[in-house]
Amino acid sequence: MADKSTLQYTSEHEWVLVDGDVATIGITAYAADKLGDVVFVDLPDVGAHVENGKVVGEIESTKSVGELFAPVDGEIVESNQTVVDSPELVNTDPFGEGWLIKVRFADLPELMSFDEYTALVGE
């Protein structure tokens, strides 16, 4: 499980872990809690080009549908098939096994720090 305090965040309640030119992206525990039990995850294919701010996937709970936004421009290098098969990982381990996609990027936009994100959700 990633150290939450060192991750970066988006206002769409995604976390971003940067390692070189690859960003690993998931949704935060706050977002997972708001969704309820996740029962279906739709992720983009490897090789797909994604654009910052555009919807690239869906996260469905029994109650509602959440959209996954790409926080960077780039190319999908991996989609988490384990979470496709076991969507509940988004709830049980959102910052770890429940990661969603890895994107290779050229430029990283400005993202929120842990403190900024914590202030945003008020927790």
Partner 1 sequence: MSEERFSPLHQKHLDAGAGFTDFAGWMMPVRYSSDLAEHHAIRTAAGMFDLSHMGEILVLGPEAADALDYALAGRLSAIAVGQAKYSLLLARDGGIVDDLVVYRTGEDRYLVVANASNREVVAAELRDRCSPFDCEVQDESDDIALIAVQGPRALEILLEVPGLTVDDLGGLKYYWSRAGLFGDHAVLAARTGYTGEDGFELYVSPEAAPALWDAIVETGAGSGLELAGLASRDTLRLEAGMPLYGHELSLDTLPVQAGLGRVVNLNKEGDFVGRAAVEAGPAGNARVLVGLRSDGKRAGRADYRLFDGSDAQAAEIGIITSGALSPTLGHPIAMAYVDAAVSAPDTQIFIDVRGTRVPATVVARPFYKREAH
Give the single-character DSSP code of 6: G
By rule CB under 8 A, what string of x and - marks binding of each residue 6-45 to partner 1? ---------------------------x--xx-xx-x---
Give me the DSSP letters along 25-88: EEE-HHHHHHH-SEEEEE-PPTT-EE-TTSEEEEEEESS-EEEEEPSSSEEEEEE-HHHHH-TT
- Of 2, 17, 30, 60, the one binding partner 1 (CB under 8 A) is 60
Stretch that binds partner 1, among 3-11, 21-29, 60-68, 104-112 (CB under 8 A): 60-68
Please identify which residue in the block is written with the tokens 């770890």: 96
Q: How far is the CB of 123 from partner 1 (least distance, A)?
A: 13
CB nearer to partner 1: pick between 91 and 118: 91
CB nearer to partner 1: pick between 36 and 108: 36
58 contributes a contact to partner 1 by CB under 8 A: yes
d(CA 88, CA 92): 6
Q: What angle do CA 91, 95, 59 make, to 5 degrees?
A: 45
**Could you list the residues that contact partner 1 (CB under 8 A)?**
33, 36-37, 39-40, 42, 58, 60-65, 91
